Amino acid sequence: MNSFAVFLRGINVGGINIKMGDLKAALASCPFTGVKTLLASGNVVLQSELDAAQVKETFEKCLRDTFGYDAWVVVLPAGRLAELVDVCPYPADDKTTHSYVTLASDTAMLDELFDAGAALGEPGNGGVEQVRLGPEATAWLAPAGGTLDSPFSKLSSKARYKVSTTTRNLRTLIKVRDAAAAL
C-alpha cells in the first residue's frame, strides 16, 4: 500500500465549493483507503495500491463525476512530499514573509512559470525570490499581508497554469506531510 498526498486546485474559491465531508464520501467508491482531508483548501492524504498517475486519474474522474466541474489535482507520493518540505530553504513561520510552494503535475509548465517569475525582476523590484525544489515544485516568498497582490501570485493564478499547478503555504505542506506519514 502506497501513501499519497493529493492537492486539489481551485476549490472553495471562485464558486467551486466542496465540503470536505462530501469529498471524503465521494472518494469512498474509489480504490483508496485511509482517506483524510486536511483544512478546507483541498488537501487529502490517502493510501492506494495504484501508482501516482493512476491516483490522479481516478481522483479527478471522481471529482468531475460527483461535483460536476473540470477538476485538476497534483498527486505526490508521501515520501516525495517529505523530501520537498525538507529541502525548502525558506522558514515555515516568519513575521515578514510567507513561504509558498507551487506544486505541478507538468514539469514543462512549472519550468515556464519559474522562468516567468524570474523575468519579473529582482526581489524588492517587483520580482520574487524563488528556488526550484525539484521537477514538481518551486518554493517562493511573498511579503506578509501582500501575498495575493504579489506579482508572482497574480502570475501563478493565470488560467494557463490551473490544469497543472497548485500552491500551498509551507505550513500547510508540513501538516499534510505529517498526516501522510501517520497513515
CA distances (Å), origin 136, targets 4, 96, 104: 15, 26, 5
At 15, the pLDDT band (50, 70, 90 cuts) reads low
> In this structure, what are the phi and psi dihedrals at residue 77, rounded to the nearest 5 degrees?
-60, 145
**Segment 113-125, tens digit of pLDDT:** 999 999 988 776 6
3-state secondary structure of 171: helix
Sheet containing 97-104: give its strands across.
Answer: 130-134, 137-143, 97-104, 165-169
Terminal-to-terminal C-alpha distance of the chain:
10
**Segment 74-114, tens digit of pLDDT:** 999 999 999 999 999 999 988 889 999 999 999 999 999 99
3 state SS for 69-100? CCCCEEEEEHHHHHHHHHHCCCCCCCCCEEEE
Rounded to 5°, angle at Cα 127 from 9 and 138 = 40
At 34, the pLDDT band (50, 70, 90 cuts) reads very high
Of the two residues 27 and 123, the one the predictor is more confident about is 27
**Segment 121-171, tens digit of pLDDT:** 877 666 789 999 999 999 999 888 877 778 888 888 888 998 899 999 999
Look at residue 24 and tell me whether its pLDDT is greater than 90: yes
| pTM: predicted TM-score of the whole model, two decimal places | 0.93
Specify the residue for cell string 529582482: 122
Q: Which pLDDT score, from 0 to 100, does residue 43 have?
A: 93
CA distances (Å), origin 177, targets 6, 46, 60, 93: 11, 11, 21, 16
Q: Which pLDDT score, from 0 to 100, does residue 159 have?
A: 86
Q: Which pLDDT score, from 0 to 100, does residue 32 have?
A: 98
Mean pLDDT of 45-49: 98
Question: What residues contact 68, with CB distance under 8 A and at least 6 apart?
Answer: none
d(CA 79, CA 2): 10
Of the two residues 150 and 66, the one the predictor is more confident about is 66
Look at residue 56 and tell me whether its pLDDT is greater than 90: yes
